[in-house]
Chains A and B, each alone.
Chain A
Amino acid sequence: MALSEDDVREILRIIDSSQLDELTIETPAFSLHVSRGAAAPSPGGASPNPPPAPAPTTGPAPAPEPAAAPTPPSTLAGTREIVAPMLGTFYRTESPSHPPFVEVGDGVRDDTVVCLIEVMKLMNHIQAGVAGTIVEVLAQSGELVEFGQPLFRVAPDGA
């Protein structure tokens, strides 16, 4: 068996969320050695001194899900982001008295409306554009979102 990039990411994620400092996997097909700390050549060589513990903050994390792993969303393998198709104010509900269009755990289809983006009093209904399950809400209702900003993370069907 070969090791895909996603597999490596998943392994790194497991190590990051554990207390392990070092891990060696050996199979007939490959051997992998991962270690934490200054001695380890960091991938891409970006930071010569990686912090001792991973910092899972990618902005204000609003949803403390009971089972939420302290993991940066960007390392979640196999998920897709729904991004803002325009700049405007992000709303999760049709109006303050309505429930949110979608919650974490909800299934969505391509054409499911997931939120509103308001641009100068004009309400734009935003569709998922992907079929799957909402795993994370990435933007705060009532706040400005930029063009291209991730709004939701979705685990696509069949992934």
Chain B
Amino acid sequence: MTIARLFIANRGEIAVRIVRTCRELGIESVVGVSAVDRDSLAAELADRAVVLGPAHASESYLRVDTNVAAALGTGCDAIHPGYGFLAESPALASAATAAGLRFVGPPAEVIAAAGDKLQARALAQSAGLPVVPGREIATLAQAEEFAGEHGYPVLLKAAAGGGGRGIKLAGDLEQLRLGHALARAEAGAAFGDERLYIERLITTARHIEVQIAADEHGGVIQFGERDCSTQRRYQKLVEEAPAPRLAPELRAALLAAGVTFARAIGYRNLGTVEFVVDVAAGSFHFLECNCRIQVEHPVTEAVYGLDLVALQLAIADGQPLALAQEELAPHGHAVECRLVAEDPARDFAPSPGRVTRFAAPELPGLRVDTHCRDGTLIPPFYDSLMAKLIAHAPDRGGALATMGQALALLEVEGVATNRELLARIVGDPRFIAGDVSTTWLAEALA
């Protein structure tokens, strides 16, 4: 490993997670923090923390120049962007590379191609992957025309966007008219790009994604799939690996499609290819490609017995993949729950504040990735993720039992959380049966 000192351009649990792998690999870590995160767990655990700027992410975590200057100024030779913030910014990838730093992620061109939904979709189509009916629209009339051809419901989203925010669902013409105006304004405000994309919503679908890794030497492998169907407002809450009740042929087809897409786009480093899957029909469609380590990566780590951050660093270091596809097989089942500071009594509005008490139980097969401890401040400026609970057991039933126990024993005070909701989900007969689609949770909560 030629990477001796790593700059972590992120915060929260993922910054802590990356520091941990650095320690195991004997790599020094420097974390760039905002002024409000000066006393964060990541800042404490890293070898060094530097203050990038004020609390607002636009003046600290989202500043490409500041992050690169901080990495250079602290003598780092590589930069890890984590997820969110600048993780899928072609600008950071190219600025880091131009400054002589190794960027722990794909090259800027790949990030740009994958980040443009239309380009990614065209690429998937030309690689022979099935895609969801959809197209770019310039006017409301074009949106109406599309809905007329393919039927409702449809989704409207920013062509330049990502991450699930700002998507509008329209079940009929009236909602389409309203949603179109809103989505257009939001796309312009958020991305400076008013282009919209409309697609048919496949309602009984599951969200299944393929974990892929590609080295600098043409090697591409997959680490199975994750099922992330349990979502609320397009934000994932519970994820698992492997996907339950997936026919072997369908699984094989999905995994092959993930690798095909990775090769087609010239992927490098760790990435995820997302699909909507109609399990009953045995069909699937390409959704998008995420050029980052995913929040839910620990379920894959659990069943494959791997450290994916270490793999990312090895690939960024130029090492060929040390693993052959034939040697890889998942063991057991893993489930992850995302504990967020959101208040169920206020329709899950963010509930920032001081965590007065945080204690996760120690259970066999339980892993907790968190930046919380007694006294941690959840600032109002960033996302509300507090901790990820990951339960691993020989079978799904065992993993769910461990998770239920972990959620019951978890001590968290000071801020409102979604703990009860997570407990309800993992104890729900439909969920236990492995039979939920992306719309299930919203229906169950209604």
Contact = CB atoms under 8 A, between A and B. Distances in A.
B69 A88 contact: yes
B262 to A, nearest CB: 32
Nearest to B64: A120
Contact of A147 (B53, B65, B68, B99): B53
A149 interface: yes
A133 interface: no
Contacts of B60: 147
A144 B51 contact: no
Contacts of B51: 87, 146-149
Interface string A132-158: 000000000001101111000000000
A144 B66 contact: no
Contact of B66 (A87, A143, A148, A149): A87
B65 A120 contact: yes
A53 to B, nearest CB: 29
A42 to B, nearest CB: 23
Interface in A45-64: none
B35 A87 contact: no
B65 A122 contact: yes
Contact of A119 (B35, B54, B69, B74): B69
B68 A144 contact: no
A144 B54 contact: no
A112 B441 CA distance: 60
Which of A88, A120, A149 has the largest number of chain B CB atoms within 10 A?
A120
B35 A148 contact: yes
A86 interface: yes
The binding surface of chain A is classed by DSSP as loop
A147 B36 CA distance: 11
Nearest to A89: B73
Nearest to A117: B69
Interface in B44-78: 50-54, 60, 65-66, 68-70, 73-74
A147 B69 contact: no
Nearest to B66: A87
Nearest to A145: B73
B120 to A, nearest CB: 29
Size bracket, chain B contacts: 10 to 19
A89 B68 CA distance: 12
Interface residues of A, number: 14
Nearest to A143: B73
A88 B66 contact: yes
Contact of B54 (A88, A122, A147, A149): A147
Contacts of A89: 69, 73
A87 B68 contact: no
Nearest to B74: A144
Contact of B52 (A118, A120, A147): A147
Interface string A88-106: 1100000000000000000
Contacts of A118: 69
A119 B69 CA distance: 6
Contacts of B53: 86-87, 147
A122 to B, nearest CB: 7
Contacts of B73: 87-89, 143-144
A131 to B, nearest CB: 25
A119 B50 contact: no
Interface in A108-140: 118-120, 122
A120 B66 CA distance: 8
B95 interface: yes
A50 B74 CA distance: 33
A89 B32 CA distance: 15
Nearest to A121: B65
Contact of B69 (A120, A143, A148): A120
B446 to A, nearest CB: 46
A7 B35 CA distance: 31
A146 B66 CA distance: 10
B85 to A, nearest CB: 16
A120 B95 contact: yes
B95 A87 contact: no
Interface in A38-89: 86-89
Contacts of A87: 32, 50-53, 66, 69-70, 73
A66 to B, nearest CB: 32
Nearest to A120: B65
17 contacts: A87-B53, A87-B70, A87-B73, A88-B69, A120-B68, A120-B95, A122-B65, A143-B73, A144-B50, A144-B69, A144-B74, A146-B52, A147-B51, A147-B52, A147-B60, A148-B35, A149-B51
Closest 6 CB pairs of A and B: A144-B73, A120-B65, A146-B51, A147-B51, A147-B53, A146-B50
